[in-house]
């Protein structure tokens, strides 16, 4: 898929909002938003995008695809399926669950799919990389061979080195300007906050 094809898939399902006024999870404000939740109901678009992630890693002999729950579960299923078809192998799709303290755990006996296996870690939208780093910390005891990180979108300017992985492949990279509320130009212009995404007016949509 070309960069334009990828952008068209996001735009076609309304997953990219521009020229708006949003509040991110961090509390910072901005004028654009990547709404991954708008993408997931559209199975054809998800399958195509995950197929592109799989294509970029198909030479890595991936045995397991792992992501943080919840949205990452969708990505692991389609990406593992695509890799299995491409390479004629059985690739497992598993996920890590968040604990009350913000750390992650691999439960349900899924550790058997990690021990010593070549593992691809997925994330939908990379901002700080915190979730990916916590997931990799959670699986360290199982000693998998992490071949890289794949993401739908890198909006935090992250690098493979920042995530301590050999490769980082993001289908889309967006540089989103952010502002503290007191310096937000949209607030200064009286532009209403979009309440359907992000933190909205202080409540998670």
Tell me the pairing of strands 64-68 and 33-34: unpaired
Q: What is the pLDDT of residue 201?
A: 45
The 10 Å Cβ neighbour count of residue 13 is 17
Q: What is the pLDDT of residue 193?
A: 93
Query: What pLDDT sits at residue 200?
Result: 66
Closest to 152 in 3D by CA, of 176, 124, 190:
124
Residue 150: CB partners within 8 Å, gap ≥ 6? 53, 56, 57, 79, 120, 121, 122, 123, 168, 169, 170
* pLDDT attached to residue 203: 43
pLDDT in tens, 136-182: 999 999 999 999 999 999 988 899 999 999 999 999 998 778 899 99
- What pTM was computed for the model? 0.88
Q: List the Cα angle 157/105/64 in 5-degree steps.
A: 70
What pLDDT is attached to residue 33? 87
Give residue 25's pLDDT.
75
| pLDDT for position 174 | 84
- All residue ranges of the chain with pLDDT < 50 are 201-205
CA 20 – CA 18 distance, rounded (Å): 5
Dist CA 69 CA 95 (whole Å) = 6
Q: What is the pLDDT of residue 53?
A: 98
CA 148 to CA 118: how far, in whole Å?
10
DSSP bridge pairs for 118: 145
- Domains annotated for the chain, with CATH where assigned, are 3-188 (3.40.50.2020)
């Amino acid at each position: 898929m070309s960069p334009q094809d990828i952008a068209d898939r996001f735009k076609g399902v309304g997953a990219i909002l521009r020229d708006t006024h949003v509040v991110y999870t961090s509390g910072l404000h901005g004028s654009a938003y990547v709404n991954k939740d708008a993408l997931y109901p559209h199975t054809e678009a998800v399958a195509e995008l995950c197929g592109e992630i799989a294509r970029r890693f198909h030479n890595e002999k991936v045995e397991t695809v792992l992501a943080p729950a919840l949205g990452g579960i969708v990505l692991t299923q389609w990406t593992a399926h695509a890799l299995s078809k491409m390479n004629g192998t059985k690739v497992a799709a598993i996920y890590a669950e968040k604990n009350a303290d913000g750390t992650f755990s691999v439960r349900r006996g899924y550790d058997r799919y990690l021990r010593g296996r070549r593992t691809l870690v997925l994330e939908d939208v990379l901002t700080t990389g915190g979730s990916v780093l916590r997931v990799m910390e959670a699986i360290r005891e199982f000693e998998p061979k992490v071949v890289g990180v794949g993401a739908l979108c890198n909006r935090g300017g992250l690098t493979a080195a920042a995530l301590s992985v050999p490769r980082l492949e993001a289908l889309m990279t967006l540089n989103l300007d952010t502002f503290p509320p007191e310096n937000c130009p949209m607030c200064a212009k009286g532009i209403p906050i979009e309440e359907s995404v992000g933190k909205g007016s202080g409540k998670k949509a």
